Amino acid sequence: MGNDVQLVKMAEIGVAENSTHLKTTLGSCVGLILHDPKRSISGLAHIVLPRKMRADGAVGKYADTAVPALLSEMVRRGSSPSELKAYLTGGARMFPFSGDRRLTSIGHLNVEAVKTILEELRIRLTFVDTGGELGRTIVFKNLTGEILVTTLNRTGDGEKR
């Protein structure tokens, strides 16, 4: 890629400026990217669950804490909420044959929770690639706002889109 890449792991939030790219791999988790094209600042939250249900300090783990925390960090770095574009990926149904409905629907619940929060915050969603039964690796190019999504197959190889 020729640029720095910041890897954002599960339950983490990362922010990139200038030519740094953001990267993560998702299954049922959701990747939310907020991008400020005017200031070349982008943030990525790797969200695991829709809402915080216990005393857990992992802010990036839950949609209801990660989205506000990501927005706050973007604003702290000079972004205006009205200028932000949101990109939403992931939320796959990774366990389609499980008898536990909570496992089969967690991806969908993650996606819906993030969409609801973005709507409440009046942040426009400009890109969505969610659902399905396969994980994804995403790379977000901060300077251009380009997102590269590679859908993984069952063997771990991927197909770029």
Question: For every residue of 13-64, which 3-state class applies, written as one string?
Answer: EEEEECCCEEEEEECCCEEEEEEECCCCEEEEEEECECCCCCCCCCHHHEHH
Residues serving a catalytic function are 29
The answer to whether 7 touches 39, Cβ cutoff 8 Å, is no
